[in-house]
Amino acid sequence: MNEIIVVGSGFSGSILARKIAEECNRKVRVIEKRSHIGGNMYDEYDENGILIQKYGPHFLNTNKYFVIEFLEQYAELFPHNPKLLSYIDDNYVRLPFNFKTLQQLVGPKKSEALLAKMRAAFVGRDRVPILELVNHEDADIKEYGNLLFDKAYRTYTAKQWGLKPEEIDKSVLDRVPMAMSYDERYLNKDFQYLPKKGFTALFQNMLDHPNITVELNTDALEHIAFDSENKKIKYDGEDVELLVFTGAIDELFAKKYGSLPYRSLDIRYQYENKKSILPCEIISYPQAEGYTRSTEYKKITYGLDQDQPISMIATEYPLPYDATAEIGNIPYYPIITEDNLKVYSQYLEEANKYGNIVLCGRLAEYKYYNMDICIEHALAKFAEIKDKIK
Ligand SMILES: Cc1cc2nc3c(=O)[nH]c(=O)nc-3n(C[C@H](O)[C@H](O)[C@H](O)COP(=O)(O)OP(=O)(O)OC[C@H]3O[C@@H](n4cnc5c(N)ncnc54)[C@H](O)[C@@H]3O)c2cc1C
């Protein structure tokens, strides 16, 4: 029987590895190029007991209860609604932008009439994307939309993506809509949780199965070969029954159709001998030069003594991804534009020529997946392929 190889140990790879190992009772080799499992979900404790998410802050939020049930097999979860503020014109305002933010930004006098208009215009709507405000027929709503856009979205987006707002896919600008109420939850999702012991521990449990072996510090690209005659992918010169690939698809094919660009992050850490540094766990800085947000992980770490006189903030400086650079060599956010999607479709067509490869995940499918969608998608992929596995 030929081997089953899974490249990558993020959510996509780890879920498929576990499912194949458990439900198909097959041995699975997980190949991971980093020195740790978990992909971009990886977290680790620093010497002060603060749990730091190495690749930026991640919060589980979903309306899909089956995602929670699935994850509870591998970790105990605790409810956590992240608290965020945005620093605008030297003041902290509430994120998500909500009625309170509106009062803070336009003042109490003007806000009363504007709130009445908003309530009437968006009856029954919990959240409204910024572009709907900007394009609204009512002049006052439109004016407020433009104010938010100028003070927060335009600059944040430009830094985050290195693109003008009109060049960005609309789904990106829709990601932080305005709350049509005083709702202070960053996202209005039913289930908002974090694993008590962190994400890495969750992945350890997921990959802890007698049929799974994990090989760290191994770049699968050095072992993969294409047998174009037989339309099969080989690993270490051997036939494989199935290769689940969750790495970057352009790298798999040596960028023959060009690079698929990503934004990366330079995350800079700053420790201070203080109990607390920021007014809440995440501050977004739309107007600052070069950086977008800071996270104070101490405020997130489950059960940590908040009185200990040290804390740390991690500040994100976005930059273009370059696999060969010293800083910015991690692909974080795919830059979804029409042109890039055309390049992606060429890679997809190429991959489809081979009968034994399955692409899954944000890098292989060049998509921004939130973790709940990523989990749902990996489970669906398994359902698609399981009957083909002998
Ligand atoms: C900064 C940031 C914050 C986010 N915050 C949230 C959030 O708050 N909530 C939420 O729901 N989602 C969030 N997400 C999305 C979440 O990170 C993804 O949904 C999830 O991590 C995707 O998992 P994946 O397995 O597809 O990819 P990855 O986690 O990237 O895993 C791919 C793995 O493949 C490995 N690999 C690649 N190439 C090779 C190779 N050649 N050989 C061997 N191994 C290889 C990589 O090292 C990596 O470990 C965030 C994303 C980012 C970038």
**Closest Cα to atom 2, ligand 1: which residue?**
56
Question: Is the shortest distance between the CB of 34 and ligand 1 below 6 Å?
Answer: yes
Question: Is the shortest distance between the CB of 362 and ligand 1 below 6 Å?
Answer: yes
| Distance, CA of 79 to CA of 98 (rounded, Å) | 22
Question: Measured in angstroms, how far is the CA atom of residue 60 from the centroid of ligand 1?
Answer: 14
Give the mean model confidence (pLDDT) for residues 38-48. 97
Tokens of 123: 């009856």
pTM of the model: 0.95
The CATH code of the domain that includes 199 is: 3.40.50.720
pLDDT at 303 over 80: yes
Is residue 93 exposed (0-12), middle (13-18) or buried (19+ Cβ within 10 Å)? buried
Q: Is residue 237 located within the same domain as residue 349? A: yes
**pLDDT confidence band for 165 (50 / 70 / 90):** low
Q: Is residue 180 located within the same domain as residue 220? A: no
Last residue of a domain, one of 160, 185, 210: 185
Question: Is the shortest distance between the CB of 59 and ligand 1 below 6 Å?
Answer: yes
Q: Is residue 132 located within the same domain as residue 12? A: no
- The residue with greater pLDDT, 289 or 166, is 289
Give me the domain span that covers residue 13.
3-80+194-258+337-388
pLDDT at 254 over 90: yes
Q: CB atoms < 10 A from the CB of 14, how many? A: 29
For residues 45 and 54, is the Cβ–Cβ distance under 8 A? no
Domains in the chain: how many in total?
A: 2
Question: Is the shortest distance between the CB of 219 and ligand 1 below 6 Å?
Answer: yes
Q: Is residue 133 located within the same domain as residue 46? A: no
The pLDDT, as a whole number, for residue 263 is 95
Q: Is residue 359 located within the same domain as residue 241? A: yes
Q: Is residue 181 located within the same domain as residue 198? A: no
Q: Is residue 180 located within the same domain as residue 97? A: yes
Last residue of a domain, one of 157, 185, 213: 185
Question: Is the shortest distance between the CB of 94 and ligand 1 below 6 Å?
Answer: no
Residue pLDDT, tens place only, 349-359: 999 999 999 99
Last residue of a domain, one of 135, 164, 185: 185
- For residue 128, the surrounding DSSP H or E stretch is strand 127-128
Residue pLDDT, tens place only, 114-135: 999 999 999 999 999 998 999 9
Is residue 63 exposed (0-12), middle (13-18) or buried (19+ Cβ within 10 Å)? exposed
Q: Is residue 343 located within the same domain as residue 254? A: yes
Question: Measured in angstroms, how far is the CA atom of residue 198 from the centroid of ligand 1?
Answer: 15
Q: Which of 71-75, 127-131, 371-375 has the lowest mean pLDDT?
A: 127-131
Question: Is the shortest distance between the CB of 359 and ligand 1 below 6 Å?
Answer: no
Distances (CA, A) of 255 to 8, 71, 220, 223, 341: 19, 35, 15, 17, 14
| Distance, CA of 339 to CA of 129 (rounded, Å) | 25
